[in-house]
Structure 1
């Protein structure tokens, strides 16, 4: 078996501690016709012999495996490695639509920007093939995620080490500025026409595409469902004062209705209601950013759910976000309004440094400062955070408070 020291993949210790994950992995390993996958991969790589390596890991809703090919004689490398990204669950029309949009988005980003994304060599959108699963084949990126680098979570608790921040923030800022420079006339998922031009299509669950931001927010509010029941919310908050518990419950239950009222009145998006709208990666977390040893970005991965969005839904990278004060427990702040938690204070400082990087790159690229302006607007960032965490994971919070700034 080829040993790759750059891999920080889940091992048997992890699966022993997470039996449900082990069950998903084993079911996928049994369901997939791996010989058929290798034959398909060979057909996409000049019929070079494909060898399936033993390493595998789970990432999101996928099983990840490595494919090895002998390199062509003209290459200095002894071998070529691809990633096989296999959908764990059986395909549905929704997963097919999501995968198609993800592939289209990656191709659009690759064509329009210098953002490093893995090149896709082949795919099947559903289970109706000899492999018996939906999958994508793409380049292997020989690095670690920024989350796993420098010893991983056990060493730095998921935070970017201080000595790495300058380089990493500049790198991520360049990615986000470039990504937001891709702007399309409507809000929705990316579709590709037979002539390889790109357009905007509907979003799963929400419909569309949407011509205005306020139309999108109305649709979001109509479909939004908090994942915890009233009973579960009360149980989760059983140790909180009853007044806070009832306020949070009321806010959770009424947030979609209040958002729909404001959006219907045109009060959520006033300056950026009409397009063009920016392309957005909804999970720009450092676990989805592959870096080399100096934290230079080798690739951005996991583009599932990427789409064009209202500017008011754009957040900073998720490793920099904090609960907005309006949504948070007031007891977490002093009389001066400053957070009591030192980690939150550090996050604020990191965010200032990051936005400064964004501004510098906007200036270098000669593009407008819409992105940095959005990131500097606490009201907009509060709304974007609330939209992100309301449905998944269903975070407790005073959601309606973030809407007070809009009317």
Structure 2
């Protein structure tokens, strides 16, 4: 057993603790923030209760988090939205009007998603106390005031364990996976009539709106989504990062293959309109707060939640040492083989958790309708193919080349042959 990192903000860092590539971006962002305006705003939310805001922080790709300590003992955090990530090594100090609009839509959708999920599931989500979405405010950036949760990310706690390994420490692996299964199942069980990002309509109701990532949609069917979304994704990636070798070929290959997917009516026999479950594509250990025993305390990132076709619900979280093979490509690398073996174990855990909950449902313990994941569903032709649209976001030509081969392999195989490749080797 190793010494776990101290819980909560005690483990947070200062600017000097970060390497040069991060420090410059953080320094410039810190200089931009008006701390007096921030303290004044926070204090006003609680009847001018005095407060202190930590100089230590936690930082990700998009947000910098600082702790707020009121003099009466109440603790919050402020999540400050940073400028976009550097492009070609160049810092972005001024956010363009188009980027500002997309950031605003993303924040609005995240707020709507957190409230919608809170109302429809038991997933632990930090409370939002206040927010400012205007880029030109007195503080200097958009921000959320949120509940402070005394924990660390599962990624941080995992990295405190010794050994050349990745993912969750083995003694806690199944325990953590089962909690991931719970979150995935609860999200997938929330059904919407359209594919899209969660937003509020003019009446304040929650609906599936256009996808924040691409601006496309919402979509009424899986077929419509598969025909249009990949093209919108390709345009969005090219606009953001420039062309990458193989990117267009992956997207075209997916669209051609997706045209052969069976219609939902043939799969579900529901005789009614399609509906779609929720998936959080940022549900990874770096966005999950836990205690030192790997009990999940909160999921902290909600800007990548979308309602999607059932096959797209079958995702493997990143940073867990779990990875599905590219179809048709046999790896001999030891680490990759381990990741592939763990992907099967993870799929088994998710399926087993669902079966346990179904038994409780029969006994009247669970009252909500549940979506049941299956091990084979993780390795279905449609689910595997959809992962090519996740991989293409990496912007790496060698990844694209692998998936061009993988999609060609899939197009020549039936469901049974795909299952045999993944589950009978």
Q: 2:118 aligns with which of 101, 104, 110?
A: 110
1:355 Cα deviation (Å)? 2.8
Question: Relative to 1, partners in 2 of residues 1:144 and 1:362: Cα closer, same or farther, differing over 3 Å?
Answer: farther
Which of 368-377 and 157-166 deviates more? 368-377
State how far apart, in whole Å, the 1-side matches of 2:388 and 2:16 are: 35
Q: 2:391 aligns with which of 389, 392, 407?
A: 389
Contact 2:65 2:80 in 1 (8 A): yes
Which SS does the other structure have where 2:373 is aligned?
Answer: helix
Q: 1:380 aligns with which of 376, 379, 382?
A: 382
1:299 aligns with 2:298: yes
Which of 384-393 and 208-217 deviates more? 384-393
Question: Relative to 1, partners in 2 of residues 1:183 and 1:382: Cα closer, same or farther, differing over 3 Å?
Answer: same
1:208 Cα deviation (Å)? 1.3
Contact 1:102 1:303 in 2 (8 A): yes
Which SS does the other structure have where 1:352 is aligned?
Answer: helix
Q: Which residue of 1 aligns with 2:92?
A: none
Question: Relative to 1, partners in 2 of residues 1:363 and 1:381: Cα closer, same or farther, differing over 3 Å?
Answer: farther
Which SS does the other structure have where 1:114 is aligned?
Answer: coil
Question: Relative to 1, partners in 2 of residues 1:69 and 1:220: Cα closer, same or farther, differing over 3 Å?
Answer: same
State the superposition RMSD in angstroms: 3.2
Q: Which residue of 1 aligns with 2:75?
A: 81
State how far apart, in whole Å, the 2-side matches of 1:191 and 1:265 are: 31
Q: 1:401 aligns with which of 400, 405, 408?
A: 408
TM-score, reference length from structure 2? 0.77
Q: Which residue of 1 aligns with 2:191?
A: 183
Structure-to-structure mapping, 1:1-400, within 5 angstroms: 5-7=7-9, 8-11=11-14, 14-15=17-18, 17=19, 19-71=20-72, 79-89=73-83, 90=95, 92-149=100-157, 151-152=159-160, 155=163, 157-193=165-201, 196-204=204-212, 205-225=214-234, 249=246, 252-263=247-258, 267=262, 271=267, 275-314=274-313, 315-318=315-318, 319=320, 321-326=322-327, 328=329, 330-332=330-332, 341-364=337-360, 365=366, 367-372=369-374, 375-394=377-396, 395-396=399-400, 397-399=402-404, 400=407
1:25 Cα deviation (Å)? 0.8
Cα deviation, 1:323-375, whole Å, max 9, x if unaligned, reads: 334164x3539xxxx99833432443343233322332344346344433674
Contact 2:81 2:143 in 1 (8 A): yes
Q: Which residue of 1 aligns with 2:88?
A: none
Contact 2:81 2:142 in 1 (8 A): yes
1:392 Cα deviation (Å)? 3.0
1:165 Cα deviation (Å)? 2.0
Cα deviation, 1:241-267, whole Å, max 9, x if unaligned, reads: xxxxxxxx5xx5422223333445665
Cα deviation, 1:263-309, whole Å, max 9, x if unaligned, reads: 45665866379532111111111111111122111000111121212
The alignment of Structure 1 onto Structure 2 pairs a total of residues equal to: 373
Contact 1:312 1:374 in 2 (8 A): no
For structure 1, the residue ranges without an aligned partner over 5 or more in a row are: 72-78, 234-248
Contact 1:359 1:369 in 2 (8 A): no
1:11 Cα deviation (Å)? 5.0
